[in-house]
Amino acid sequence: MDGNSDASQSDGGPFGRPLFDDPSARALSRVGVVDVGSNSVRLVVFDGAARSPAYFYNEKIMCALGAGLATSGRLNPEGRARALDAIKRFQLLGDSMDTGPLTAVATAAVREAEDGPDFCQEVLEQTGLNIHVIDGREEARLSAQGVLLGWPGSYGLVCDIGGSSMELAEIHDGKVGRRISSTLGPLKLRDVKGGRKARKALIRSTLEQMKSELGPQEDRLFLVGGSWRAIAKIDMARRGYPLNVLHEYRMTTASVRETAKYIAKADLDDLRLQAGVSSARIMLVPHAAEVLREVVKAFKPRDIAISSYGIREGMLYEQMPQRLRDRDPLIEACRFAEVKDARVPGFGKVLYDFIQPLFKSAKPERRRMIKAACLLHDVSWRAHPDYRAEVCFDNATRANLGGLKHSERVFLGLALLHRYTNNREGTRFERMDSLIHEKDQHQAEVLGKAMRFGAMLWLDKNAAPGELRWYPKKQILELRLTKDAAPLYGEVAAARFLSLATTLEAEAVVKTAR
């Protein structure tokens, strides 16, 4: 276990370069982060210092710096050489991508190895990059903040597994609470003498101590780290899950048990091919699965969610002012997409105001999805007309968006699909219809057809195209057009309005102001 002291920040630490103090930095500046882990060394370049930054570049090298550390006390020599080469490359890439100085952190392997300081000095001398070695509690805090980047205001327990350590951190009300670090990394467990029985005893005793410090944690369990993601991929393959997006993928305690058994019995090469996991990662999966099964057994979480966001995103979140943290990552990402790609940036709000009478009884979480759809309704206009609906669906269901459950991805994708077509038969949605209730499918279709019609009344982002009135008890859908908008109500617009009314099983009524 690590002590209770936070990593020293006397020199500004890895957060010495304020990214968000200057509003101009929130434009399209690129931010480069290097994460020197026990198993992998990764460069991530975020494009746009905003609430929901996009991944401009992402490269990972499996170096296994922590392999053999438990017995030798030193970094793996081959891994050290590979890590140095990787960091040299990353430094050059950062220069070519205009990231400014890269921010680099190292975790368990470098902080525990007796030659860790020597490695950091070698990197500094050969690249000019200063690696900040953080302790386990700081690693836990940053990983938890990465989760908060994608789930603002969420609560539960964040479990981050690396090659040589595993951290736990509480999150609640948008803040990180108690946190603790352990040695339950698969690289270290691989070196435990005594086989599976000895590993199980070590895992259980360690988790017992961690639980005694943290107390009951029966809310959501957020899983961060490559080994957890690999297990989630295997769980998806085992279940035949139709959406291959790891972020926000949900597992139950029962599915964890079943997948752990499945991994223990399976041939690793078959698993690797079945789930698309790298050969270096799959070797760690059996030990990680042993840990996950015991974590779930010890803490009994309400549900389990995979997070693609972790320490790197936490480093970005660290520098955000509170006003930026408080923003909705989904809406911010959609706003950014509209400004960048829509033909008339700002029209999404006009469209939202126009169609919102159809959704007067919608709950806040549904209104959020409607707003996101309106912001995204025109960002795929460059796609070929024959494939535009499919492109919209794919973008929504597969895009790197935070704060979005899988069912919400499918809802958003279906709404945008219907923005460009009345018929969803034969589309990729049919593979995913099990992820969304029939009632929500219908509401997504109504939303899509409302956007499809509203986009026909295209004046500009400041104009009022008209007014929709929905009388559900009378089953009447009424359109009131302004005098300026009346000429826009041509044959195609009329057909789309009738299609919307038909989906609502309503009578279509049109009134024009004199």
Q: Is 137-312 in the same CATH topology as 13-134?
A: yes
10 Å CB burial of residue 331 (0-12, 13-18, 19+) is middle
Question: 190 in the Ramachandran plot: left (φ > 0), alpha (ψ -120 to 50) or beta?
Answer: alpha
Cβ contact 251:296 at 8 Å: no
Identify the three-state secondary structure at position 471.
Answer: strand
Residue 23 has pLDDT above 60, yes or no: no
Residue 102 has pLDDT above 50, yes or no: yes
CA count, 13 A, side-chain hemisphere, 237: 18
Residue 1: per-residue pLDDT: 46
Handedness of CA 439, 440, 443, 445 (dihedral sign): negative
- pLDDT tens by residue, 464-504: 778 999 999 999 999 998 888 888 899 999 999 999 999 99
Residue 9: per-residue pLDDT: 38
CA-to-CA distance for 274 and 271, rounded, in angstroms? 5
Residue 73: per-residue pLDDT: 94
Residue 46: per-residue pLDDT: 87
Cβ contact 192:202 at 8 Å: yes
CATH code reported for the domain at 137-312 = 3.30.420.150
Residue 25: per-residue pLDDT: 43
Tell me the mean pLDDT in the region 253-282: 94
Pairing of strands 476-481, 507-512: parallel
Distance from first CA to last CA of the chain, Å, rounded? 76
- pLDDT tens by residue, 121-134: 999 999 999 999 99
Which contiguous run of DSSP H or E holds residue 282? helix 279-282
Tokens 């990662």 sit on residue: 281
CA distances in angstroms from 221 to 79, 144, 412, 487, listed in the order given: 32, 11, 25, 55
Give the domain 13-134 fold: Nucleotidyltransferase; domain 5 (3.30.420)
Strands (E), 121-265: 131-133, 156-161, 166-172, 175-182, 220-224, 250-251
Residue 49: per-residue pLDDT: 52
Which DSSP letter does residue 242 get? S
Cβ contact 153:173 at 8 Å: yes
Cβ contact 158:175 at 8 Å: no
Which residues, 6 or more positions from 382, have their beta carbon under 8 angstroms from its beta carbon? 341
Find the largest Cα–Cα distance for the chain. 88
CA-to-CA distance for 431 and 204, rounded, in angstroms? 40
**Nearest residue to 216 (alpha-carbon basis) of 171, 137, 157:** 157
**Which of 17-26, 109-118, 238-247 is predicted least confidently?**
17-26
CA-to-CA distance for 416 and 401, rounded, in angstroms? 15
Tell me the mean pLDDT in the region 433-456: 96
CA-to-CA distance for 304 and 295, rounded, in angstroms? 11
Which residues, 6 or more positions from 398, have their beta carbon under 8 angstroms from its beta carbon? 245
Mean of the per-residue pLDDT values of the chain: 90
Grade residue 316 by pLDDT with cuts at 50, 70 and 90: confident
The strand pairing partners of 41, in sequence order, are: 36, 61
For residue 497, what are its two tokens? Answer: 């309005």
Cβ contact 469:509 at 8 Å: no
- pLDDT tens by residue, 368-404: 999 999 999 999 999 999 999 999 999 999 888 888 9
Cβ contact 408:399 at 8 Å: no
Cβ contact 366:408 at 8 Å: no
Grade residue 21 by pLDDT with cuts at 50, 70 and 90: very low
Neighbours of 469 (CB within 10 A): 13
Residue 5: per-residue pLDDT: 39
Identify the three-state secondary structure at position 174.
Answer: coil
Residue 513: per-residue pLDDT: 80
Cβ contact 25:40 at 8 Å: no
CATH number (2.40.10.10, 1.10.3210.10, 3.40.50.300, 3.40.50.2300) of 329-512 reads 1.10.3210.10
10 Å CB burial of residue 84 (0-12, 13-18, 19+) is middle
Which contiguous run of DSSP H or E holds residue 145? helix 136-150
- pLDDT tens by residue, 142-154: 999 999 998 888 8
For residue 27, what are its two tokens? Answer: 């434009």
Residue 487: per-residue pLDDT: 87
Neighbours of 218 (CB within 10 A): 11
Residue 287: per-residue pLDDT: 96
For residue 315, what are its two tokens? Answer: 């480093």
Q: Show me where the domains of the chain are located.
A: 13-134, 137-312, 329-512
Grade residue 19 by pLDDT with cuts at 50, 70 and 90: very low
Neighbours of 466 (CB within 10 A): 22
Question: Quick check: pTM over 0.75?
Answer: yes
